[in-house]
Amino acid sequence: MSDLNTAMTERYRSSFLKEVEANVEEGEWVKMCMQCGVCAGSCPLGNAWEHTPQKLFMMIRAGKREAVLSSDAMWMCTSCYNCIARCPRGLPITHIMHGLAHYAKRLGLSPKNQPTQQFAQIFWDNLMKKGRVNELKLGLSMYFKDGFGQGIKNAMANQKLGQNMMKAKRMSAMELFGGHSIKDTSGLQKMIKKAQEIEDAKIQGNS
Amino acid sequence: MSDEKKFAGYICTGCGIGDRLDPSQLESIATREGKMQSCKQHEMLCNSEGVQMIRDDIANDAVTHVMIAACSRRAKVEAFNFTDVALTRANLREGVIWVRPDADEHQETTQEMADDYVRMACAELRSMSKPASSGEQQLNKTIMVVGGGITGMTAAIEAAAAGYPAHIIEKSGALGGQAADYIKSIPTRSPYSEPQDTGVAAMIASIEANDLITVHLNSTVAKTAGAPGRFSVDIATESGAVVTETFGAIIQATGFNLYDPSGLMQFGYSSSPDIITNGELEKLVKASNGGPIKRPSDGKEVKAVAFVQNVGQSSTEKGQLSYHSGIGDLIAIKQAMYFKAQNGDCDTTILFNNLRTPGAAGEDFYRAGQEKMVTFSKGEVSEVVAGDSLEVKFKDLILDEETSMQADLVVLDVGMMPNSGPDPYAVPMVIDEDAEKTEEAEVKAPTVTVDSILNLDYRQGTDLPHLKNGFTDSHFICFPYETRRTGIYAAGPLRRPMDMRQAQDDAAGAAMKAIQAAENAGKGMAAHPRAGDLSFPKFRMDGCTQCKRCTVECPFGAINEDEKGYPMFNESRCRRCGTCMGACPVRVISFENYSVETVNQQIKNVEVPEEFDEKPRILVLACENDAYPALDQAAMNGVEINPWARVIPVRCLGSVSLSWITDSLNSGYDGIVLMGCAKGDDYQCHFVRGSAMAHERMGKVGDTLSSLNLEPERVVVYEVAITDVERAPKLINDMAETVEKIGLSPFKF
Amino acid sequence: MAKKEVSFYPGCSSQTGASSSNMMRATQTMCDELDITLNEIPDWNCCGASIGYGGGGELPRLTLSARNIALSEQHNPGQDMVATCAACWLSTREAKERLHEDQNMFRDANTALNEANLKLNNQTPVRHMVEVLIEDIGFEAIRAKVKKPLEGLKIASYVGCQTNRPFGIAEESFENPVYLDHLIDSVGAESIPTYEKKVQCCGGALAFSEPEKSQEMIHGIIEAAYDHGADLIATPCPLCQANVEIYQDQINARFGSKFNMPVVYYSQLMSVAFGRNSKDSALDGQIIRAKSLEDIAGK
């Protein structure tokens, strides 16, 4: 993906804003931010970020490409949609955050080992296998993302939680063996592959 | 009509007056003490039957003076509008029954209040005569407009559209003013997304085609003499020729100048031809003739432009403007669009701290700028460094960091300064011209023009008085167009910073006011706020000491002096506030229906009980514009007022004669409350300076009190607003408490 | 009451052995009582949820939801597509609207769908079960169905984020939606309209990846319910329910609190109030048992 990054840097040398407009979900809204800061004050994880949406938008306009795309701020989005509900300019801020996160990841610039980023990928891979999410495998993958040893530790720490869930029949060991699935997995996979191709071509075409 | 006076009283018994008071006693007071030749009661005097009764008496019985004892003089004014007679009102409803509790133990004092108000009204009426204009009045429908910019052109077009001829006096060689240099203007129509045509060319064409409008180019006003209805103006052309024209009213629309940023070294205005003001940018773009916009230094096409906002404005620094012009950010958006229209890739950055986009277009136009990829950066510019590429150093206020950007051209958003003539009051007026000149007042903010624009032949200076920062003084809330020179209206950025659209609205308003002033002057009637008043000040020459207090203290510069130093009142310049009357130490100035005597008679005819009765009397002199209506409103709300109070409305506190104070103290009043409007920079006084003058004059009452051996707290002066509905009655009631504390006046007879 | 048929989108968590299988059971009970037939969309897939953006780009994610809408249109024509999960509803409705506004995206999504031999018309309303209850059934009809009013129970309505924003329920405010309070009142319990954490975020998917930060927020949500004297917290959202209920042990360990607050679905409240037993009302699916509800259900 760093090839894509190089291509993009070349193409949009003069304007990171234009790059965002062309390649980031809802990116054409970034220029409409009026810097009031309501989003920053409305974010439940506002104190956990380095860059508020307001700042990210300003940085995009100031051409701070590297700082924006390597920021962990977008990955702190809980998708609570509070910023969208409150933005006086009607910017779809949540989607822009998702879009920026995805684009940074696509270019290989997002922060390494960022837990939400890892979880997001695990989630996507999980759902792509059977067309439906396998919660047990999802949980275990997350526990074991940092290796076997850490995985055991994590699993032990959450052992009671797991037992409780099993007892309440809200978790099933059977899920480890096959588990729920849609029938037309191949159709779904082909469909998503096609969608990805279309999207990739669009971004490549922009380069 | 013969000169014989015939007095008739009318007592209304409606609205509870008849139930709460003894009307027959009031009637007998009116006839026996008040010397009304007739007095009638009516159960609802303001109905058509009651009004007809009065009308019939005026027509059939030759009644010349009418006393109506009913509601406040501010109520039922349409019904009790008898223009052919002298009229007075005794306020029994708001003044008495509505402010007193309806209980037996209060009956006696309530009736005493009513009795006194009838006595006062009758006494006032006896010293009044029916107002009639001076004979000085003239109707001249032609309006002079000074300044041929957007504002002046609009004023002339509006006046002409209403059928009033207009003359435009323009000092340059062409109409259009500053706007003639503009490419486009801020949009005034939905969707507010593109700059629009200025309309200047169309206006010039319509003026040229209008028979009612005469244009004097390359001309200035050499002298303005006379008064509304009969202004005589010498118009001087560059060649030296002078023509004299007469006008009914004048509109000054001399516009603005842009602040010169050369003194602000950090912006480097003098260090590079590529650092220009927003005004200069319009000319630069115009010169590009629709082609690429090129920078002045080397003609290179501008690929990056930075707009530095709020330069030398909203500042506390010396030599900068303390105010903000309000429209600079809209102008920057408009100008950024010039570049985007030429070249969509041109990097346009607006560096602002507080972005202000007021008006209908504001927010939409801002969004339109964003849509066109104009970059808005919240930043504080610290320095612009000249060079082949200009470096704009600024603090990014969102990212909280010092940074900089490169630009081919930097545009400075400088503020608008009024193009006013010199302020007559920049140096305090002195009564004796030979007396030592006072130190020159500190010059505030940068002033632009020192040359006179109107060259008024007035006792109080050559031009319109300023409020602050050179902007024309006017009553900003109640009648913004009225200046302190009757019949001369300021319009456009002379009054406050504004955009073209606002200036056009302003010009239309000023044109309407000018027409009204010309018409009023033709009838001898006053302008705002005593619109329609026919009375005007007269003076008794044999008593006048030529002290010039009246000519100096008139807030409107209405009074000139003749060669011997006697006042010349110029009826149509007068607002009828009576500040001259209050100023006159020898009491020779009076109006037909308002004089030292009409109030003195009211004061004297209040029955002051003897000391052992323990019924104090408190005189309240209340300004008719704010304090008196506040008291009326309090009455409507059922607020109680102390029964010792006797309220006399005055035209303005500025009209209060010191003799009223000394006379009432001498005749046994126990306390005096004066209520005027707010004074000072944020004044509310309808006559601008009246309240302030009264406060100054009352400063001297202390001497009178101490010479009479009376306590200083017996006389108080307050600033009261029309909204002080609770406070105004309380101030009166407070005085009653004060009197209770310090005891009754020893001057009872 | 007229019989109502909807095209039902249960979502992954509602499946047997999944984290909100209890919600599914109570939803089924509630719908039986209200005569709502749930026609499950055949072969529905995961919506991508709010965390899918990391791995999936915009078009792949929209296409996931487009497949569900297309299946609904194909198999349950003329029926409103209804979801009980906040994220399922949000993703689907978002996709529907985005594909409606952006014709290029609509065309691209159909190109991808074609790979699975599907076609999207995008004419189907996408609704939340709560909308069906409020708009189609109505509070009055719900009240009329109550056999065992939940008298004496004080219940904090925890609406959370995604049922409320950005779409929300018609006529409701984002800052203080009141429909859940009305539902609580309708089944005879006492709502807490001033419950200030009503729309506070629980961390959503970040409860997994950022447990410390999320549990701090969850702590506040539960604490405020205790402060108001709540016996229970009720929510419409499966992730809210799970996050607020299952981490209470860990939160207690982290913050030194002694929380033991049952967190239930509105559908469970209704099932009990409609006279159904604990099992039908899925009270056995609680990790923190809702004793007070069990008592009423057992009467």
Q: What is the pLDDT of residues B243-273, one digit of tens each?
A: 999 999 999 999 999 999 999 999 999 999 9
Handedness of CA A115, A116, A119, A120 (dihedral sign): negative
Contact (CB, 8 A) for A175 and A134: yes
Mean pLDDT of A40-49: 92
| Cα gap C209→A77, rounded to integer Å | 11
Query: What are the chain C neighbours of A121 within 8 Å (beta carbons)?
Result: 54-55
- Which DSSP state fits B221? E
What contacts A97, CB < 8 A, 6 or more positions away?
Answer: A53, A56, A73, A74, A77
pLDDT, tens digit, 9 for 90 and up, residues C55-83: 999 999 999 999 999 999 999 999 999 99
Which among C18, C59, C115 has CB closest to A170?
A: C18
> B143-257+419-425+450-523 — its CATH code?
3.50.50.60
Mean pLDDT of B201-212: 98
- Between B239 and A80, the more confident residue is A80
Strand order in the sheet with C190-191: C190-191, C154-157, C232-235, C263-265
Q: Which of B44-53, B289-298, B448-457 has the lowest mean pLDDT?
A: B448-457
Which among A44, A192, A196 has CB closest to C217?
A: A44
Which percentage of chain B shows pLDDT scores above 90?
A: 88
| Alpha carbon distances (Å) from A121 to A99, A117, C89, C225 | 14, 6, 22, 35
Mutation site, A112, A121, A124, interface C, largest C CB count within 10 A:
A124
Write out residues 121-160 of C within 8 Å (CB-CB) of A.
Answer: none
| Cα gap A183→A176, rounded to integer Å | 18
Query: What are the chain B neighbours of A17 within 8 Å (beta carbons)?
Result: 373, 375
Q: Which residues pair with B385 in a beta bridge?
A: B391
* Cis peptide bond prior to C166, omega within 30° of 0: yes
Which subunits sit against B, judged by 3+ Cβ pairs under 8 A? A
Q: What is the pLDDT of residue B188?
A: 93
- Banded model confidence at residue A207, pLDDT cuts 50, 70, 90: low
- Banded model confidence at residue B278, pLDDT cuts 50, 70, 90: very high
What domains lie within chain A, and their CATH numbers?
Answer: 2-110 (1.10.1060.10), 115-196 (no CATH)
pLDDT at B1 over 80: no
Query: What are the chain A neighbours of C58 within 8 Å (beta carbons)?
Result: 25, 99, 102, 199
Mutation site, A20, A61, A71, interface B, largest B CB count within 10 A:
A61
| Alpha carbon distances (Å) from B562 to B138, B225, B575, C51, C225 | 21, 14, 20, 90, 87
What domains lie within chain C, and their CATH numbers?
Answer: 4-129 (1.20.1050.140), 147-298 (3.40.50.11810)
pLDDT at B446 over 60: no
Mean of the per-residue pLDDT values for chain B?
A: 93
Cβ <8 Å between A81 and C48: no
Mean of the per-residue pLDDT values for chain A?
A: 92
B692 in the Ramachandran plot: left (φ > 0), alpha (ψ -120 to 50) or beta? Answer: alpha
Q: What is the pLDDT of residue B708?
A: 87
User: What is the pTM assigned to this prediction?
Assistant: 0.88
Mean pLDDT of B240-245: 95
Q: Are strands B213-216 and B166-169 parallel, antiparallel or unpaired?
A: parallel
Contact C43/A at CB under 8 A: yes
- Measure the CA angle with vertex B251, ends B247 and B254; round to 5°: 130
pLDDT at A47 over 60: yes
Output the DSSP codes for B44-112.
TTTSHHHHHHHHHHHHHS---EEEEEES-TTSSTTTT--TTSEEEEEE-IIIIITTS--SHHHHHHHHH
The domain over range B608-749 is classified in CATH as 3.40.50: yes
Which among A17, A34, A58 has CB closest to B399?
A: A58
In the block, tokens 């020779």 appear at: B588
| Cα gap C162→C193, rounded to integer Å | 19
Q: Tell me what ipTM this predicted complex has.
A: 0.95
pLDDT, tens digit, 9 for 90 and up, residues C156-174: 999 999 999 999 999 999 9
Torsion of CA C10, C13, C18, C22, to 10 degrees: -60
Strand order in the sheet with B488-490: B213-216, B166-169, B143-146, B249-252, B488-490
Q: Chain A residue closest to B367 (CA)? A: A32
Mean pLDDT of C204-208: 94
pLDDT at A118 over 80: yes
Torsion of CA B205, B206, B207, B208, to 10 degrees: 50
| Cα gap B145→B154, rounded to integer Å | 10
- Which DSSP state fits B237? E
Q: Do chains B and A touch (3 or more CB pairs under 8 A)?
A: yes
Q: What is the pLDDT of residue B131?
A: 85
B419 in the Ramachandran plot: left (φ > 0), alpha (ψ -120 to 50) or beta? Answer: beta
- Between B447 and B540, the more confident residue is B540
What are the tokens at C111? Answer: 């190109």
Contact (CB, 8 A) for B681 and B690: no
pLDDT at B449 over 90: no
Q: What is the pLDDT of residue A149?
A: 87
Q: What is the pLDDT of residue B14?
A: 96
Mean pLDDT of B78-104: 96
| CATH 3.50.50.60 domain range(s) in chain B | 143-257+419-425+450-523, 260-414
pLDDT at B521 over 50: yes
pLDDT, tens digit, 9 for 90 and up, residues C260-282: 999 999 999 999 999 999 999 99
| Cα gap B335→B307, rounded to integer Å | 9
pLDDT at B476 over 80: no
A78 in the Ramachandran plot: left (φ > 0), alpha (ψ -120 to 50) or beta? Answer: alpha
| Cα gap B609→B738, rounded to integer Å | 18
Q: Are strands B409-414 and B304-311 parallel, antiparallel or unpaired?
A: parallel
Q: CATH fold of B260-414, please?
A: FAD/NAD(P)-binding domain (3.50.50)
Cβ <8 Å between A161 and C17: no
Among B94, B82, B74, smallest CA distance to B125 is for: B82
Q: What is the pLDDT of residue A105?
A: 96
Q: What is the pLDDT of residue B428?
A: 64
Among C211, C198, C206, C210, smallest CA distance to C237 is for: C198
- Between B493 and A5, the more confident residue is B493
pLDDT at B218 over 80: yes
| Cα gap B382→A6, rounded to integer Å | 35
Torsion of CA B34, B39, B42, B47, to 10 degrees: -90
Cβ <8 Å between A188 and C45: yes
Torsion of CA B171, B173, B177, B178, to 10 degrees: -110
Q: Which stretches within A33-173 are classed as H helix? A: 38-42, 53-61, 65-69, 82-86, 93-106, 115-130, 135-143, 148-157, 159-167
| Cα gap C99→A131, rounded to integer Å | 21
The domain over range B1-130 is classified in CATH as 3.40.50: yes
Among C106, C216, C178, C84, smallest CA distance to A44 is for: C216
Distance from CA of A59 to the nearest CA of C (A): 22
Mean pLDDT of A58-79: 95
Query: What are the chain A neighbours of C102 within 8 Å (beta carbons)?
Result: none
pLDDT at B443 over 50: no
| Cα gap B502→B492, rounded to integer Å | 7
Q: Chain C residue closest to A75 (CA)? A: C54
For chain C, give me the number of helices (H) and strands (E)? 13, 8
Output the DSSP codes for B612-665.
GGT---EEEEEETTTHHHHHHHHHHTT----TTEEEEEES-GGG--HHHHHHHH
Burial classification of residue B214, based on how many CB atoms lie within 10 Å of its CB (0-12 exposed, 13-18 middle, 19 or more buried): middle
| Cα gap B440→B417, rounded to integer Å | 22
Query: What are the chain A neighbours of C13 within 8 Å (beta carbons)?
Result: 133, 135
| CATH 3.40.50 domain range(s) in chain B | 1-130, 608-749
| Cα gap B217→B221, rounded to integer Å | 11
Q: What is the pLDDT of residue C16?
A: 94
Q: What is the pLDDT of residue C277?
A: 97
Contact C165/A at CB under 8 A: yes
Q: Chain B residue closest to A31 (CA)? A: B370
